[in-house]
Structure formats: structure tokens, C-alpha cells
Amino acid sequence: MRIVHYLNQFFAGVGGEESAGMPLDSLKGAVGPGRLFEQLLGDDAKVLLTLVCGDNYAVENQEEMVAAAVQRIREVKADLVIAGPCFQAGRYGMAAGALCAAVQSQLSIPVVTAMSEENPGTDLYREMIYIVDSGTNAAKMRDVAVMMMNLAQKLVDKIPLGLPKEDGYFRRGFIRDRFVEQTAGQRLVDMVMAKVKGEPFESEMVPTTFSPVRMPPGVKDLSQAKFLLITDGGLVPKGNPDKIQGSAATRWGSYNIEACDNLKGEDYEISHGGYDPQFVRQDPDRLVPLDVMRELERAGAIGEVYEEFLSTSGLANPLSNTRRMGREMAEKAKQLGIDAVILTST
């Protein structure tokens, strides 16, 4: 079995965050967890090529990186492509998912990756490819590798896979036809009765669930309150200095407005697909209402507007990723002593 393995700079042993900007590189043979994969698959399996790319470079140049990687995989005539495992590393998961999806669609060869449920790559690519649940602890590398190789062997040998819980991969949202003894009504009654009795049961279709969010107490005195402006409409300074992606963004930016009474169109651009941004380009205050907030500030209706606004793109963003960015923004607001947030969208 001829294998190509994709790693980020950290798991390849190249370096940490200081090496996140390295472009795609090719190393002969197995590196890092690739050696473990070879052991698990036996003497007939060989990692011919290890592709290594820095996390920042991979997400900022995704199309270019994926195209180059697919070409190198094509050249070595691989039978299997492995990416990761990525655990909770979001940029790593996004790059691994994009590469596996491209290899599967363009080269029609099996692909396997692994990441945690909270990794944004999981939500974005789970319907396209098989993603093993790695959990969050990288110390369990061997256990995760065993699940990945068991799944990979089945895919290469074209052995039908079991259910997600049996083979360790995330649900892909597909419904399989199968013969069962009970009708749908009987199965439903059994689940209801189990729930009433407090007994374990498993739904055949798991709905999307959202954790309840408690409403915070109101601001007692707006005239003394510090406000923070946040948008998921993709407003960024010209040149997009933080390289915020227009779709499935993995990062957010904070931009200075300290000496500004309103936002000028010539100073900003939109990194967000899915809506017509022409009116925001004409007057960015339509998305980030700094002009109105300054009027309220001068009138004494509010205390002050914080000297920066936060921005990202909310288009096609996995729930786990938006939760992460939301937590990061909330933590920043807490550290700054913000009393209230004006959050605007498209």
C-alpha cells in the first residue's frame, strides 16, 4: 500500500507557531505519526511521501496548497492519503479536511483524517469524508492511530463500513436503508419509554442542539457604560491585514477607531461572500454604526465607545468554530471591562 501523509509544522517536528508560515514541502518516507501508521498497517504498507505545511500558510493559501499537494499525490500514485490526526488544532483541521476532500473528488482514492468534534474542520467536512473522532488529548495518539488505520484498511480493501459508533468516525448525516424487525412506530415508542424510565437509548437521527444561553442583566446606567462594536459582516481595513477568510473564517480581527467619528469606504473592504456589499462599501457605518454611536457618546446617552471594533466573516462557518471565536471575543470584552456589545450582521 502506497501512502501519502499530510502533517502540519508542529507534528512534523519542524517548529511551533514561529514556523506556521512555511509553504508546502515534501519529505521522503514517514515522519512523526507516519511511522506509527506504517507499524499498524504492516510490512505491505509504506509512507512514500510526507507533505508538511505551516498552519497559517495552509489556510491563507488553501487553493494553491491543495492543488500542489494533489499534484504530488498524483505523481507518486498513492493508494491512500492520511491527514493528521489534528485533534483540536483548527487551522490544521481545516487544511486536512480541504486536502482530503480534494484528493477524494479528484483522484478517487481513499482518504482518512482525524480531529476533535470541536475542530472547525469536522463540521465543514464530515459530510464529504470519513473523519475519526480523535478527542482532544494528543497523548492518545496511538489509540487514535489504531482507529484511523482500521478504517483506512477497510476503505482500501473496499470492505463495507459499520455504523459511526462501530468504526469510530463522526456521523456524516446520511440515512442508510436496512432491514429491521420493528417498525418505525415501535422503535419510537421504545425510545420514548426508555427516556421516561431514565434508561439509555440512541436516536436514529440526532438533531442539532444548542446549549441554552442565559440572558445577562441589563445595563443599569447607559450613560456610564463602555460599548464594544462587533460584526460578522466581514468589514476589514484595506488589504485585509489579518487575512480573514470570506467563508468559513477561522480568525477575527480588532481594528482601531480611536480618532474616528465615522468609517470611510475608501479605508475598508469586505471579506464576506453571500451578500451584496456595495452599500457597505459606500458607507461602512451601515454595518458598523460608529457614526451613530459617536453621536450618542457626545450627547451623553452612553459612556464611551471602545477604541477598536472586532470583525470576522460569519458565512458558512461551522458551529464549533463560531463558538470558539465567540468565546475569544467575549474574553477580550471581559478583560477590557466592556459593559455592552453592539453586534451587527448582514
Q: If you ran DSSP here, which 8-state letter would residue 14 be given?
A: S
Short-list 308, 244, 309, 306, CA closest to 270? 244
Residue 217 lies in a domain: no
Taking the C-alpha atoms of residue 122 and residue 124, their distance in angstroms, rounded to an integer, is 5
Number of domain units in the chain: 2
Q: Is 150 found in the same domain as 290?
A: no
Short-list 235, 250, 253, CA closest to 346? 235
Q: Is 163 found in the same domain as 92?
A: yes
Supply the pLDDT for residue 208.
61
Indicate the range of 167-171, 222-226, 307-311 predicted with least confidence: 167-171
Residue 184 lies in a domain: no
More confident residue, 170 or 3: 3
Residue 188 lies in a domain: no
Measure the CA dihedral 196/202/207/212, to 10°: 50
Q: What is the mean pLDDT of the chain?
A: 91
| pLDDT tier at 210, thresholds 50, 70, 90 | low
Q: Is 137 found in the same domain as 277?
A: no
- CB-CB contact of 37 with 149 (8 Å): yes
| Cell numbers at 187, concatenated | 422503535
Q: Is 237 found in the same domain as 160?
A: no
Model confidence over 32-90: pLDDT tens digits? 899 999 889 888 889 999 999 999 899 889 899 999 999 999 999 999 999 989 998 88
Model confidence over 268-290: pLDDT tens digits? 999 998 888 999 999 999 999 99
Supply the pLDDT for residue 118.
80
| Three-class DSSP category at 51 | strand
Residue 203 lies in a domain: no
pTM of the model: 0.64
* Sequence-ordered alpha helix ranges (H) in 300-342: 319-336
Q: Which of 123-132, 195-204, 296-305 has the highest mean pLDDT?
A: 296-305
- What is the residue range of 286's domain? 222-344
Q: Is 150 found in the same domain as 7?
A: yes
Has residue 177 got a pLDDT over 80? Answer: no
Model confidence over 134-146: pLDDT tens digits? 988 888 999 999 9
